[in-house]
Amino acid sequence: MFIIPPYLRRGDCIGITCPAGFMPANKAAKCIETLQSWGFEVMVGKTLGSASENYFSGSDEERRDELQAMMDDDNIHAILFGRGGYGTGRIIDQLNFKKFIKKPKWIIGFSDITILHSHIHRNFKIATIHGPMAGAFNNPTDSGIYIDYLRRTLTGKKITYNCDPHPLNRKGKVRGILVGGNLSLLANAIGTKSDFDTRSKILFIEEIGEFLYSADRMLYQLNRAGKLNNIAGLIVGGFTEMKDTERIFGKNIQQIIKDLIDKYDFPVCFDFPVSHDPKNVSLKIGIEYELSVSKNKTILKEI
């Protein structure tokens, strides 16, 4: 069984930190304003809008120490990351989870934060939230409903998600613990202390900006590592801004995935709204969901 951190109430504090790529402080202003309008206090770390002159939001030590401090601070009830990019994997083995295990709190983010989700999933069996980060709050027209999913998720609401049918969907109804995230990070986690268990679980994947051949390679890596052998179901999210080589690969990403999983019989949903696009729902990793894929629609609901 997974441990579920306490859901948030008015007056609880959310910490914002950047464990990976640099993010200007003004990019988080709308996020801070929105969180406060929901009734939460906000503590902003120094890595947000830091004086860093390179890709990262601070040195490895600065990013590690700030995340560690927020994990250990009893006055912070959830940690929302400013952005992903790259860098969390450089510091994750230096983090001390002893206090976090005793008093878990919600970890919220996606993309590069996938490594933190999978690490906590494997080692501590504590639920986390794969959801929008601070930058997503800047596009209310496109992502307003998806931002509200985060509010509802943080406050303990059980959400049912509906998704339009896709011609490559495979019908079925299953239950299982939800696990997944960014394809690149999932592939990179294999064989490390952050490797993840997919047995009898519903796996979801999404990606951005990769070449088709690279995505194909990572999918085969998951398959060769046995990550698809015994899953309950597969949710394929957005694969945005995918690139092709000068000599074309010959398949789009949906066909690549479809051909790879043809030998399996688990239900599959394509184009689910989990992605680097504004359409990015909040999903609780480590919580049991029911996935129902039919001819007319797909439903994912928390049990």
Residue pLDDT, tens place only, 68-101: 999 999 999 999 999 999 999 999 999 999 999 9
The per-residue pLDDT for 167 is: 98
* CATH domain 160-302 topology: Glucose Oxidase; domain 1 (3.50.30)
1-32 residue pLDDT tens: 899 999 999 999 999 999 999 999 999 999 99
| pLDDT at position 142 over 80 | no
| pLDDT at position 233 over 70 | yes
- Taking 3-state DSSP, the helix, strand and coil percentages for the chain, each rounded to the nearest 5, stand at 35, 25, 45
| pLDDT at position 141 over 70 | no
| pLDDT at position 286 over 90 | yes
- Was domain 13-154 assigned CATH 2.60.40.10? no
Cβ atoms within 10 A of the Cβ of 43, count? 16
194-231 residue pLDDT tens: 999 999 999 999 999 999 999 999 999 999 999 999 99
The alpha carbon torsion through 82, 84, 87, 91 (nearest 10 deg) reads: 60
Tokens 């790529």 map to which residue? 21
Report how far residue 134's alpha carbon sits from residue 206's, in angstroms, rounded to the nearest whole number: 19
With 0.95 as the threshold, say if the pTM is over it: yes
Q: How confident is the model at residue 112 (pLDDT cuts 50, 70, 90)?
A: very high
Q: How confident is the model at residue 144 (pLDDT cuts 50, 70, 90)?
A: confident
Report how far residue 114's alpha carbon sits from residue 119's, in angstroms, rounded to the nearest whole number: 8
DSSP 28-43: GHHHHHHHHHTT-EEE
Buried b or exposed e, range 62-93, using 16+ CB within 10 angstroms = bbbbbbbebbebeebbbbbbbbbbebbbebbe
**3-state class (DSSP) for residue 197:** coil
Domain(s) labelled CATH 3.40.50.10740 in the chain stretch across 13-154
Nearest to 206 by CA among 143, 259, 265, 132: 132
Q: How confident is the model at residue 139 (pLDDT cuts 50, 70, 90)?
A: confident
Residue 179 main-chain phi, psi, to 5 deg: -145, 155
The per-residue pLDDT for 62 is: 98
| pLDDT at position 154 over 90 | yes
Burial of 15 (C-beta count, 10 Å sphere; 0-12/13-18/19+): buried
| pLDDT at position 140 over 70 | no
Domain(s) labelled CATH 3.50.30.60 in the chain stretch across 160-302
253-264 residue pLDDT tens: 999 999 999 999
75: Cβ–Cβ under 8 A, 6 or more apart, which residues?
Answer: 13, 43
Mean pLDDT of 149-173: 97
Which pairing describes strands 288-293 and 298-302: parallel, antiparallel, or unpaired? antiparallel
Q: How confident is the model at residue 57 (pLDDT cuts 50, 70, 90)?
A: very high
The chain-wide mean pLDDT, for the chain, equals 97
The per-residue pLDDT for 34 is: 97
